[in-house]
Structure 1
Amino acid sequence: MTIDQIEAQMKARAMNFVGLGALVKFDLGGGEALFIDGRKTPPTIAREGATPDTTLTISSDNLIKLAEGKLAPTLAFMTGKLKVSGNMGIAMKLSNMLED
């Protein structure tokens, strides 16, 4: 799975992010990022965005594992593979949405 495929998968499942109520950035390093804008209905997924409410820093390899269900968001956070800056409550809400 590639970042393009993850972006497409997130777009296909955008309605899962209804109720997020925030702009979240996945910072993949190397200038790559994905944004989930859960302030809109339907939520939008894009490569660029405004200043996020929460930033999740994760390698592209670990984001792929997360998207494939091979890495749980909570485990990724606890093992340092996922770092959160900004509103932790939004990150927790997003974690629940990703695990569905």
Structure 2
Amino acid sequence: MIFHSINTYNAGRPLMLSTDKSMFRSVNMSAIAEAFGKIESKFNASAAAGLDVVFQFNVDGETFHLVVADNACKLAEGEHNDPTVTLIMDHATLEEIISGDLNGMQAFMAGRLRTEGDMMLATRLSDLFGI
């Protein structure tokens, strides 16, 4: 990690500013993980009857997946070996979808969301998670 000293002092110690961009990635990663926690908390088990699917999300290069089976939902970090559908977007798009400012179809039509796999399954996200 590279640090640059500046002339501001904090409790007698120089204030150090990092130029290491990986620090920003970890902050963004935490925000993405938090966003997926919000999605998981909105799970509607009654809408999942008969489903056994994996929704995989690639957000700004970070991957998470939601396994929906037996009327339950489990969130995991990383890639699944056989996702049913993968949704690819940036963090801003994910936050707008979660907040309700943007729906998935609008994001898809605007080119802000791409899918791989069973695209029609992606339309079930609103029933399953209220997003």
- Length-normalised TM-score, structure 2: 0.64
- In the TM superposition, 1:39-78 aligns within 5 A as 39-48=69-78, 49-78=80-109
Looking at secondary structure, tell me which structure has more strand per residue: 2
Structure 1 counterpart SS, 2:101: coil
Cα separation, partners in 2 of 1:74 and 1:98, compared to 1, 3 Å: farther
Unaligned runs of 5+ in 2: 1-30
Do structure 1's residue 90 and structure 2's residue 117 form an aligned pair? no
Structure 2 counterpart SS, 1:43: strand
The CA distance in 2 between the partners of 1:28 and 1:15, in whole Å, is 23
Q: Which has the higher contact order (CA 8 A, sep 6+)?
A: 1
Unaligned runs of 5+ in 1: none
Amino acid at match of 1:47: E
Cα separation, partners in 2 of 1:61 and 1:33, compared to 1, 3 Å: same
Amino acid at match of 1:46: A
Runs of 4+ in 1 over 3 A off after TM superposition: 95-100
CA radius of gyration, larger in: 2
Shift of 1:40: 4.1
The Cα RMSD (Å) is 2.2
Q: How many residues align?
A: 99
Residue 18 of structure 1: aligned partner: 48
Which residue of 112, 115, 118 corresponds with 1:81?
Answer: 112
Query: Is the 1:14–1:45 Cα contact (8 Å) retained in structure 2?
Result: no
Cα separation, partners in 2 of 1:12 and 1:76, compared to 1, 3 Å: same
Shift of 1:41: 3.2
